[in-house]
Structure 1
Amino acid sequence: MGGRTKQSDKVLPLSPIQQSPIPTVADQVFDELQKRILTLELPPNTKISETEVATKMGVSRQPVREAFKRLSKLGFLDIRPQSGTKVSLISESAVLRARFIRIALEIQTCQTACNTVTSENIKSLRSLINAQREAVESNNRVLFHALDDKFHQEICIVAGVGYVWDIIRDNKAHMDRIRMLSLDQTSQRLALDEHIQMIDAIEAQNEDAASQAISKHLNRIFILIKEIKSGNHNWFTDNAI
Protein backbone atom coordinates (compact mmCIF):
# COMPACT_ATOMS: atom_id res chain seq x y z
CA MET A 1 0.00 0.00 0.00
CA GLY A 2 2.72 2.45 1.01
CA GLY A 3 4.60 1.93 -2.28
CA ARG A 4 1.82 3.08 -4.54
CA THR A 5 2.24 6.43 -6.33
CA LYS A 6 -0.49 8.94 -5.68
CA GLN A 7 -2.26 10.37 -8.72
CA SER A 8 -1.28 13.90 -7.64
CA ASP A 9 2.40 12.91 -7.55
CA LYS A 10 2.57 11.97 -11.21
CA VAL A 11 4.56 14.33 -13.39
CA LEU A 12 2.86 15.49 -16.57
CA PRO A 13 4.83 14.34 -19.64
CA LEU A 14 5.19 17.85 -21.07
CA SER A 15 8.22 19.69 -22.35
CA PRO A 16 8.81 23.46 -22.55
CA ILE A 17 7.70 25.07 -25.79
CA GLN A 18 10.52 26.70 -27.68
CA GLN A 19 9.17 30.16 -28.37
CA SER A 20 10.48 32.09 -31.36
CA PRO A 21 10.00 35.73 -32.35
CA ILE A 22 10.04 34.66 -36.00
CA PRO A 23 6.49 34.96 -37.40
CA THR A 24 4.89 31.77 -38.68
CA VAL A 25 3.53 31.44 -42.22
CA ALA A 26 0.03 31.85 -40.79
CA ASP A 27 1.14 35.07 -39.04
CA GLN A 28 2.48 36.44 -42.31
CA VAL A 29 -0.69 35.56 -44.21
CA PHE A 30 -2.78 37.12 -41.45
CA ASP A 31 -0.73 40.34 -41.42
CA GLU A 32 -0.88 40.71 -45.21
CA LEU A 33 -4.63 40.12 -45.46
CA GLN A 34 -5.37 42.37 -42.48
CA LYS A 35 -3.33 45.17 -44.04
CA ARG A 36 -5.12 44.84 -47.37
CA ILE A 37 -8.53 44.85 -45.67
CA LEU A 38 -7.64 47.90 -43.58
CA THR A 39 -6.34 49.82 -46.60
CA LEU A 40 -9.40 48.79 -48.64
CA GLU A 41 -7.37 46.97 -51.27
CA LEU A 42 -9.85 44.30 -50.21
CA PRO A 43 -13.03 46.37 -49.62
CA PRO A 44 -16.14 45.11 -47.80
CA ASN A 45 -18.05 42.33 -49.60
CA THR A 46 -15.00 41.19 -51.60
CA LYS A 47 -15.08 37.43 -52.14
CA ILE A 48 -11.92 35.65 -51.03
CA SER A 49 -11.00 31.96 -51.03
CA GLU A 50 -8.40 29.88 -49.21
CA THR A 51 -7.30 28.29 -52.48
CA GLU A 52 -6.78 31.58 -54.29
CA VAL A 53 -4.89 33.16 -51.39
CA ALA A 54 -2.71 30.06 -50.96
CA THR A 55 -1.88 30.00 -54.67
CA LYS A 56 -1.07 33.70 -54.93
CA MET A 57 1.01 33.74 -51.76
CA GLY A 58 2.78 30.48 -52.56
CA VAL A 59 1.80 28.68 -49.36
CA SER A 60 -0.31 25.67 -48.40
CA ARG A 61 -3.98 26.03 -47.45
CA GLN A 62 -3.44 25.22 -43.76
CA PRO A 63 -1.80 28.54 -42.74
CA VAL A 64 -4.35 30.39 -44.86
CA ARG A 65 -7.14 28.57 -43.05
CA GLU A 66 -5.62 29.59 -39.70
CA ALA A 67 -5.33 33.21 -40.84
CA PHE A 68 -8.94 33.19 -42.06
CA LYS A 69 -10.13 31.95 -38.64
CA ARG A 70 -8.22 34.71 -36.85
CA LEU A 71 -9.54 37.38 -39.20
CA SER A 72 -13.07 36.05 -38.79
CA LYS A 73 -12.76 36.14 -34.99
CA LEU A 74 -11.68 39.77 -35.16
CA GLY A 75 -14.59 40.63 -37.45
CA PHE A 76 -12.71 41.19 -40.72
CA LEU A 77 -14.05 38.13 -42.59
CA ASP A 78 -17.49 36.59 -42.88
CA ILE A 79 -17.01 32.84 -43.36
CA ARG A 80 -20.06 30.92 -44.60
CA PRO A 81 -19.48 27.33 -45.77
CA GLN A 82 -22.43 27.38 -48.16
CA SER A 83 -21.79 30.72 -49.84
CA GLY A 84 -18.03 31.23 -49.40
CA THR A 85 -15.96 33.82 -47.58
CA LYS A 86 -16.25 37.58 -47.94
CA VAL A 87 -14.61 40.60 -46.39
CA SER A 88 -17.17 41.62 -43.81
CA LEU A 89 -19.26 44.74 -44.00
CA ILE A 90 -18.45 47.40 -41.43
CA SER A 91 -20.79 47.05 -38.48
CA GLU A 92 -21.69 50.45 -37.07
CA SER A 93 -22.84 48.83 -33.84
CA ALA A 94 -19.49 47.02 -33.55
CA VAL A 95 -17.65 50.32 -34.10
CA LEU A 96 -19.62 51.97 -31.31
CA ARG A 97 -19.14 48.95 -29.05
CA ALA A 98 -15.39 49.18 -29.59
CA ARG A 99 -15.50 52.91 -28.83
CA PHE A 100 -17.31 52.22 -25.55
CA ILE A 101 -14.81 49.52 -24.55
CA ARG A 102 -11.85 51.71 -25.46
CA ILE A 103 -13.09 54.78 -23.58
CA ALA A 104 -13.98 52.75 -20.48
CA LEU A 105 -10.55 51.10 -20.42
CA GLU A 106 -8.34 53.91 -21.70
CA ILE A 107 -9.68 56.60 -19.37
CA GLN A 108 -8.67 54.42 -16.44
CA THR A 109 -5.39 53.54 -18.16
CA CYS A 110 -4.47 57.19 -18.75
CA GLN A 111 -5.37 58.11 -15.17
CA THR A 112 -3.21 55.28 -13.87
CA ALA A 113 -0.35 56.30 -16.18
CA CYS A 114 -0.42 59.75 -14.60
CA ASN A 115 0.69 58.11 -11.34
CA THR A 116 3.19 55.63 -12.76
CA VAL A 117 4.88 57.54 -15.59
CA THR A 118 8.63 58.13 -15.51
CA SER A 119 10.87 60.49 -17.45
CA GLU A 120 12.02 57.52 -19.55
CA ASN A 121 8.39 56.71 -20.37
CA ILE A 122 7.81 60.27 -21.53
CA LYS A 123 10.94 60.12 -23.66
CA SER A 124 9.67 56.92 -25.31
CA LEU A 125 6.21 58.39 -25.93
CA ARG A 126 7.69 61.60 -27.37
CA SER A 127 9.80 59.46 -29.70
CA LEU A 128 6.61 57.83 -30.99
CA ILE A 129 5.14 61.29 -31.51
CA ASN A 130 8.15 62.28 -33.62
CA ALA A 131 7.75 59.13 -35.71
CA GLN A 132 4.05 59.93 -36.17
CA ARG A 133 4.94 63.45 -37.26
CA GLU A 134 7.23 62.05 -39.96
CA ALA A 135 4.47 59.70 -41.12
CA VAL A 136 2.10 62.66 -41.41
CA GLU A 137 4.59 64.65 -43.46
CA SER A 138 5.01 61.77 -45.90
CA ASN A 139 1.25 61.05 -45.78
CA ASN A 140 1.95 57.41 -44.94
CA ARG A 141 -1.38 56.49 -43.40
CA VAL A 142 -0.55 52.79 -42.99
CA LEU A 143 2.54 53.69 -40.95
CA PHE A 144 0.64 56.34 -39.01
CA HIS A 145 -2.07 53.82 -38.14
CA ALA A 146 0.55 51.37 -36.84
CA LEU A 147 2.27 54.10 -34.81
CA ASP A 148 -1.11 55.24 -33.46
CA ASP A 149 -1.74 51.72 -32.13
CA LYS A 150 1.78 51.55 -30.72
CA PHE A 151 1.22 54.84 -28.90
CA HIS A 152 -1.96 53.64 -27.20
CA GLN A 153 -0.35 50.29 -26.37
CA GLU A 154 2.65 52.07 -24.84
CA ILE A 155 0.38 54.03 -22.49
CA CYS A 156 -1.13 50.74 -21.31
CA ILE A 157 2.39 49.46 -20.64
CA VAL A 158 3.34 52.65 -18.79
CA ALA A 159 0.27 52.17 -16.59
CA GLY A 160 1.36 48.61 -15.83
CA VAL A 161 -1.66 47.10 -17.59
CA GLY A 162 -0.26 45.97 -20.92
CA TYR A 163 -2.88 43.22 -21.05
CA VAL A 164 -5.56 45.89 -21.51
CA TRP A 165 -4.27 46.48 -25.02
CA ASP A 166 -4.94 42.81 -25.84
CA ILE A 167 -8.61 43.34 -24.94
CA ILE A 168 -8.79 46.53 -27.00
CA ARG A 169 -7.04 44.95 -30.00
CA ASP A 170 -9.48 42.05 -30.05
CA ASN A 171 -12.49 44.39 -30.18
CA LYS A 172 -11.49 47.19 -32.55
CA ALA A 173 -11.43 45.67 -36.06
CA HIS A 174 -14.40 47.64 -37.43
CA MET A 175 -13.20 50.79 -35.68
CA ASP A 176 -9.82 50.35 -37.40
CA ARG A 177 -11.41 50.38 -40.85
CA ILE A 178 -13.25 53.61 -40.06
CA ARG A 179 -9.99 55.13 -38.88
CA MET A 180 -8.09 54.04 -42.01
CA LEU A 181 -10.83 55.40 -44.27
CA SER A 182 -10.54 58.78 -42.58
CA LEU A 183 -6.74 59.06 -42.37
CA ASP A 184 -5.97 61.85 -44.81
CA GLN A 185 -3.26 64.29 -43.78
CA THR A 186 -5.72 66.60 -42.03
CA SER A 187 -7.10 63.76 -39.93
CA GLN A 188 -3.60 62.48 -39.16
CA ARG A 189 -2.53 65.92 -37.94
CA LEU A 190 -5.63 66.17 -35.75
CA ALA A 191 -4.93 62.75 -34.22
CA LEU A 192 -1.30 63.72 -33.69
CA ASP A 193 -2.33 66.92 -31.86
CA GLU A 194 -4.66 64.88 -29.65
CA HIS A 195 -1.86 62.44 -28.85
CA ILE A 196 0.34 65.35 -27.80
CA GLN A 197 -2.43 66.61 -25.50
CA MET A 198 -2.60 63.15 -23.93
CA ILE A 199 1.16 63.04 -23.30
CA ASP A 200 1.20 66.57 -21.89
CA ALA A 201 -1.56 65.66 -19.44
CA ILE A 202 0.13 62.41 -18.38
CA GLU A 203 3.50 64.14 -17.96
CA ALA A 204 1.82 66.80 -15.81
CA GLN A 205 0.13 63.98 -13.85
CA ASN A 206 -3.20 65.68 -14.47
CA GLU A 207 -5.78 62.87 -14.40
CA ASP A 208 -8.73 65.07 -15.38
CA ALA A 209 -6.93 66.50 -18.41
CA ALA A 210 -5.78 63.03 -19.45
CA SER A 211 -9.34 61.71 -19.23
CA GLN A 212 -10.70 64.60 -21.26
CA ALA A 213 -7.99 64.18 -23.90
CA ILE A 214 -8.60 60.46 -24.49
CA SER A 215 -12.38 60.94 -24.47
CA LYS A 216 -12.16 63.68 -27.07
CA HIS A 217 -9.79 61.57 -29.17
CA LEU A 218 -11.97 58.45 -29.23
CA ASN A 219 -15.35 60.20 -29.46
CA ARG A 220 -14.34 61.71 -32.81
CA ILE A 221 -15.41 58.35 -34.29
CA PHE A 222 -19.02 59.61 -34.29
CA ILE A 223 -18.13 62.31 -36.81
CA LEU A 224 -16.06 59.92 -38.91
CA ILE A 225 -18.87 57.35 -39.16
CA LYS A 226 -21.30 59.99 -40.42
CA GLU A 227 -18.86 61.34 -43.00
CA ILE A 228 -17.73 57.96 -44.36
CA LYS A 229 -21.15 56.32 -44.31
CA SER A 230 -22.61 59.11 -46.43
CA GLY A 231 -20.24 58.28 -49.28
CA ASN A 232 -19.90 54.52 -48.84
CA HIS A 233 -23.26 53.38 -47.51
CA ASN A 234 -23.02 49.93 -49.14
CA TRP A 235 -19.95 49.12 -47.02
CA PHE A 236 -21.95 49.26 -43.78
CA THR A 237 -24.37 46.98 -42.03
CA ASP A 238 -26.71 47.79 -39.17
CA ASN A 239 -26.62 44.20 -37.94
CA ALA A 240 -24.77 43.67 -34.68
CA ILE A 241 -21.66 41.52 -34.97
Structure 2
Amino acid sequence: MNIGSKIEARGPANNTRRIDGSATERIVEALREAIVTLEIPPGAALDKAVLTARFGVSRFPVAEAFTRLKAEGLVDIRPQSGSTVSLIRLADARENMFLRRALEGEALALLATRNNAALLAEVDNNLRCQKMAVEAGDRPGFHRLDLEFHDLLISAVGFPRMRATVERARLALDRVRRLLGTPRRHALTFAEHSAIAQALRKAEPEAARAAMAAHIDSVMVELETFAVAQPDVFADSEPAAERL
Protein backbone atom coordinates (compact mmCIF):
# COMPACT_ATOMS: atom_id res chain seq x y z
CA MET A 1 0.00 0.00 0.00
CA ASN A 2 1.39 3.41 -0.95
CA ILE A 3 0.52 5.37 2.18
CA GLY A 4 2.07 8.57 0.84
CA SER A 5 -0.37 8.71 -2.06
CA LYS A 6 -3.29 8.83 0.36
CA ILE A 7 -2.11 11.96 2.16
CA GLU A 8 -2.21 15.51 0.88
CA ALA A 9 1.02 17.41 1.43
CA ARG A 10 0.61 21.14 1.95
CA GLY A 11 3.69 22.99 0.88
CA PRO A 12 7.43 22.67 1.57
CA ALA A 13 9.17 22.88 4.91
CA ASN A 14 12.51 24.52 5.78
CA ASN A 15 15.19 23.14 8.07
CA THR A 16 14.78 25.37 11.11
CA ARG A 17 13.28 23.93 14.29
CA ARG A 18 10.52 26.56 14.19
CA ILE A 19 9.54 25.52 10.67
CA ASP A 20 9.94 21.86 11.62
CA GLY A 21 7.35 22.51 14.32
CA SER A 22 4.96 23.87 11.71
CA ALA A 23 5.72 20.90 9.45
CA THR A 24 5.04 18.51 12.31
CA GLU A 25 1.61 20.09 12.82
CA ARG A 26 0.55 19.65 9.22
CA ILE A 27 1.87 16.08 9.07
CA VAL A 28 0.00 15.24 12.27
CA GLU A 29 -3.19 16.77 10.90
CA ALA A 30 -2.92 14.98 7.55
CA LEU A 31 -2.07 11.60 9.08
CA ARG A 32 -4.74 11.90 11.76
CA GLU A 33 -7.39 12.70 9.17
CA ALA A 34 -6.30 9.79 6.96
CA ILE A 35 -6.26 7.36 9.90
CA VAL A 36 -9.55 8.45 11.47
CA THR A 37 -11.40 8.37 8.15
CA LEU A 38 -9.89 4.91 7.46
CA GLU A 39 -8.11 6.07 4.30
CA ILE A 40 -5.14 4.46 6.01
CA PRO A 41 -6.57 1.29 7.59
CA PRO A 42 -5.69 -0.22 10.98
CA GLY A 43 -2.47 -2.23 10.79
CA ALA A 44 -1.09 -0.42 7.72
CA ALA A 45 2.66 0.28 7.67
CA LEU A 46 3.83 3.91 7.75
CA ASP A 47 6.97 4.44 5.71
CA LYS A 48 9.06 7.37 6.94
CA ALA A 49 10.94 7.66 3.66
CA VAL A 50 7.71 7.86 1.67
CA LEU A 51 6.30 10.50 4.03
CA THR A 52 9.42 12.65 4.06
CA ALA A 53 9.35 12.71 0.26
CA ARG A 54 5.60 13.31 0.17
CA PHE A 55 5.75 16.30 2.52
CA GLY A 56 9.16 17.58 1.40
CA VAL A 57 10.60 17.52 4.92
CA SER A 58 13.43 15.95 6.91
CA ARG A 59 12.89 12.85 9.03
CA PHE A 60 12.61 14.92 12.22
CA PRO A 61 9.03 16.28 11.79
CA VAL A 62 7.81 12.88 10.57
CA ALA A 63 9.27 11.19 13.65
CA GLU A 64 7.74 13.89 15.88
CA ALA A 65 4.36 13.38 14.16
CA PHE A 66 4.54 9.63 14.82
CA THR A 67 5.30 10.31 18.50
CA ARG A 68 2.31 12.67 18.79
CA LEU A 69 -0.02 10.20 17.10
CA LYS A 70 1.28 7.38 19.30
CA ALA A 71 0.18 9.41 22.34
CA GLU A 72 -3.29 9.62 20.77
CA GLY A 73 -3.42 5.85 20.32
CA LEU A 74 -3.36 6.05 16.53
CA VAL A 75 0.17 4.87 15.73
CA ASP A 76 2.35 2.05 17.07
CA ILE A 77 6.12 2.68 16.99
CA ARG A 78 8.36 -0.38 16.98
CA PRO A 79 12.05 0.59 16.65
CA GLN A 80 13.12 -2.68 15.04
CA SER A 81 10.14 -3.24 12.76
CA GLY A 82 8.82 0.21 11.83
CA SER A 83 5.64 2.12 12.59
CA THR A 84 2.08 1.07 11.84
CA VAL A 85 -1.42 2.43 12.25
CA SER A 86 -2.71 1.10 15.56
CA LEU A 87 -5.35 -1.58 15.55
CA ILE A 88 -8.56 -0.58 17.29
CA ARG A 89 -8.79 -1.72 20.90
CA LEU A 90 -12.23 -2.88 21.96
CA ALA A 91 -11.25 -2.35 25.60
CA ASP A 92 -10.66 1.34 24.89
CA ALA A 93 -13.93 1.60 22.97
CA ARG A 94 -15.83 0.03 25.86
CA GLU A 95 -14.28 2.47 28.33
CA ASN A 96 -15.00 5.50 26.16
CA MET A 97 -18.57 4.33 25.54
CA PHE A 98 -18.98 3.88 29.30
CA LEU A 99 -17.83 7.46 29.90
CA ARG A 100 -20.17 8.81 27.25
CA ARG A 101 -23.09 6.74 28.51
CA ALA A 102 -22.64 8.03 32.05
CA LEU A 103 -21.97 11.69 31.24
CA GLU A 104 -24.32 12.15 28.30
CA GLY A 105 -27.08 10.26 30.08
CA GLU A 106 -26.85 12.56 33.09
CA ALA A 107 -26.60 15.59 30.81
CA LEU A 108 -29.85 14.60 29.09
CA ALA A 109 -31.61 14.03 32.40
CA LEU A 110 -30.55 17.52 33.52
CA LEU A 111 -31.61 19.14 30.26
CA ALA A 112 -35.02 17.48 30.51
CA THR A 113 -35.66 19.46 33.70
CA ARG A 114 -35.12 22.74 31.83
CA ASN A 115 -37.55 24.35 29.44
CA ASN A 116 -35.01 25.32 26.80
CA ALA A 117 -37.07 26.16 23.74
CA ALA A 118 -34.05 27.49 21.82
CA LEU A 119 -32.19 24.21 22.32
CA LEU A 120 -35.17 22.16 21.18
CA ALA A 121 -35.44 24.29 18.06
CA GLU A 122 -31.77 23.66 17.25
CA VAL A 123 -32.18 19.94 17.92
CA ASP A 124 -35.24 19.78 15.67
CA ASN A 125 -33.39 21.56 12.88
CA ASN A 126 -30.46 19.18 13.24
CA LEU A 127 -32.83 16.19 13.08
CA ARG A 128 -34.44 17.51 9.91
CA CYS A 129 -31.01 17.72 8.32
CA GLN A 130 -30.15 14.23 9.60
CA LYS A 131 -33.28 12.86 7.94
CA MET A 132 -32.32 14.46 4.63
CA ALA A 133 -28.78 13.06 4.91
CA VAL A 134 -30.12 9.56 5.57
CA GLU A 135 -32.49 9.77 2.61
CA ALA A 136 -29.73 11.08 0.34
CA GLY A 137 -27.19 8.51 1.48
CA ASP A 138 -24.87 11.36 2.50
CA ARG A 139 -22.52 9.49 4.84
CA PRO A 140 -20.03 12.33 5.52
CA GLY A 141 -22.90 14.76 6.02
CA PHE A 142 -24.66 12.48 8.45
CA HIS A 143 -21.45 11.93 10.39
CA ARG A 144 -21.03 15.70 10.79
CA LEU A 145 -24.66 16.14 11.87
CA ASP A 146 -24.35 13.28 14.35
CA LEU A 147 -21.41 15.03 16.00
CA GLU A 148 -23.30 18.33 16.04
CA PHE A 149 -26.36 16.69 17.63
CA HIS A 150 -24.39 15.38 20.59
CA ASP A 151 -22.37 18.58 20.97
CA LEU A 152 -25.54 20.70 20.98
CA LEU A 153 -26.80 18.74 23.96
CA ILE A 154 -23.55 18.57 25.90
CA SER A 155 -22.77 22.26 25.31
CA ALA A 156 -26.25 23.25 26.54
CA VAL A 157 -25.49 21.87 30.01
CA GLY A 158 -22.83 24.54 30.50
CA PHE A 159 -20.12 22.41 32.16
CA PRO A 160 -16.89 22.97 30.15
CA ARG A 161 -14.87 20.22 31.86
CA MET A 162 -17.59 17.68 31.26
CA ARG A 163 -17.81 18.73 27.62
CA ALA A 164 -14.02 18.35 27.26
CA THR A 165 -14.16 14.85 28.77
CA VAL A 166 -16.95 13.79 26.42
CA GLU A 167 -15.09 15.30 23.47
CA ARG A 168 -11.93 13.31 24.27
CA ALA A 169 -13.96 10.10 24.52
CA ARG A 170 -15.72 10.91 21.25
CA LEU A 171 -12.47 11.64 19.40
CA ALA A 172 -11.09 8.29 20.54
CA LEU A 173 -14.15 6.62 18.98
CA ASP A 174 -13.99 8.33 15.58
CA ARG A 175 -12.58 5.32 13.74
CA VAL A 176 -15.23 3.10 15.32
CA ARG A 177 -17.97 5.44 14.16
CA ARG A 178 -16.58 5.39 10.62
CA LEU A 179 -16.43 1.58 10.61
CA LEU A 180 -20.09 1.40 11.60
CA GLY A 181 -21.22 4.26 9.35
CA THR A 182 -23.48 2.23 7.07
CA PRO A 183 -26.84 3.46 5.72
CA ARG A 184 -28.54 1.01 8.10
CA ARG A 185 -26.64 2.33 11.11
CA HIS A 186 -27.38 5.91 10.13
CA ALA A 187 -31.11 5.16 9.92
CA LEU A 188 -31.00 3.53 13.36
CA THR A 189 -29.01 6.44 14.78
CA PHE A 190 -31.55 8.91 13.40
CA ALA A 191 -34.37 6.96 15.10
CA GLU A 192 -32.43 6.85 18.38
CA HIS A 193 -31.69 10.57 18.21
CA SER A 194 -35.38 11.23 17.57
CA ALA A 195 -36.27 9.25 20.72
CA ILE A 196 -33.79 11.35 22.71
CA ALA A 197 -35.34 14.57 21.41
CA GLN A 198 -38.84 13.31 22.18
CA ALA A 199 -37.92 12.64 25.81
CA LEU A 200 -36.53 16.17 26.04
CA ARG A 201 -39.72 17.66 24.61
CA LYS A 202 -41.78 15.75 27.17
CA ALA A 203 -39.48 16.95 29.98
CA GLU A 204 -38.96 13.38 31.22
CA PRO A 205 -35.50 13.06 32.83
CA GLU A 206 -35.56 9.29 33.29
CA ALA A 207 -36.78 8.73 29.74
CA ALA A 208 -34.10 11.09 28.41
CA ARG A 209 -31.36 9.29 30.36
CA ALA A 210 -32.64 5.91 29.16
CA ALA A 211 -32.88 7.05 25.54
CA MET A 212 -29.26 8.19 25.51
CA ALA A 213 -28.12 4.98 27.21
CA ALA A 214 -30.05 2.89 24.68
CA HIS A 215 -28.44 4.78 21.81
CA ILE A 216 -24.89 4.29 23.08
CA ASP A 217 -25.53 0.65 24.06
CA SER A 218 -26.89 -0.03 20.57
CA VAL A 219 -23.70 1.24 18.97
CA MET A 220 -21.54 -0.83 21.33
CA VAL A 221 -23.48 -4.01 20.62
CA GLU A 222 -23.02 -3.40 16.90
CA LEU A 223 -19.30 -2.84 17.40
CA GLU A 224 -18.96 -6.14 19.30
CA THR A 225 -20.69 -7.91 16.42
CA PHE A 226 -18.45 -6.19 13.88
CA ALA A 227 -15.36 -7.26 15.85
CA VAL A 228 -16.38 -10.91 15.54
CA ALA A 229 -16.84 -10.57 11.78
CA GLN A 230 -13.68 -8.48 11.19
CA PRO A 231 -11.16 -9.46 13.90
CA ASP A 232 -8.13 -8.31 11.86
CA VAL A 233 -9.09 -4.67 12.50
CA PHE A 234 -8.92 -5.08 16.28
CA ALA A 235 -6.11 -5.66 18.74
CA ASP A 236 -8.48 -7.49 21.10
CA SER A 237 -11.50 -8.87 19.24
CA GLU A 238 -12.73 -11.21 21.99
CA PRO A 239 -16.43 -10.43 22.57
CA ALA A 240 -17.40 -9.19 26.03
CA ALA A 241 -19.65 -12.22 26.65
CA GLU A 242 -16.70 -14.62 26.24
CA ARG A 243 -14.72 -12.80 28.93
CA LEU A 244 -17.34 -13.44 31.62
What TM-score, normalized to structure 2?
0.76
Residue 88 in 1 paired to residue 109 in 2? Answer: no
Read off the aligned partner of 2:136 and give its amino acid letter.
S
Higher helix residue share: 2
Identity %: 28
Read off the aligned partner of 1:227 and give its amino acid letter.
T
1:106 to 101, 104, 107: 104
RMSD (Å) for aligned C-alpha atoms:
2.6
Give the corresponding residue for 2:38. 40
Question: C-alpha distance in 2, partners of 1:118/1:102?
Answer: 22
Give the corresponding residue for 2:126. 128
Q: Counterparts in 2 of 1:70-85, with a 5 A limit?
A: 70-85=68-83
Q: Which has the larger radius of gyration?
A: 1
Read off the aligned partner of 1:184 and give its amino acid letter.
T
Distance 1:133 1:33, change over 3 A: farther
Question: C-alpha distance in 1, partners of 2:204/2:113?
Answer: 9
Shift of 1:168: 2.3
Question: C-alpha distance in 2, partners of 1:129/1:26?
Answer: 38
Question: C-alpha distance in 2, partners of 1:76/1:117?
Answer: 41
Shift of 1:70: 4.1
User: Structure 1 regions of 5+ residues with no counterpart?
Assistant: 1-23
Read off the aligned partner of 1:83 and give its amino acid letter.
S
Give the corresponding residue for 1:164. 162
Kept after mapping to 2: 8 A contact 1:91/1:174:
no
Residue 212 in 1 paired to residue 210 in 2? Answer: yes
Question: C-alpha distance in 2, partners of 1:100/1:157?
Answer: 19
User: Structure 2 regions of 5+ residues with no counterpart?
Assistant: 1-21, 238-244
SS at 1:237 equivalent: coil
Count, aligned residues: 216
Give the corresponding residue for 1:180. 178
SS at 2:112 equivalent: helix
Kept after mapping to 2: 8 A contact 1:38/1:176:
yes
Question: C-alpha distance in 1, partners of 2:126/2:157?
Answer: 17
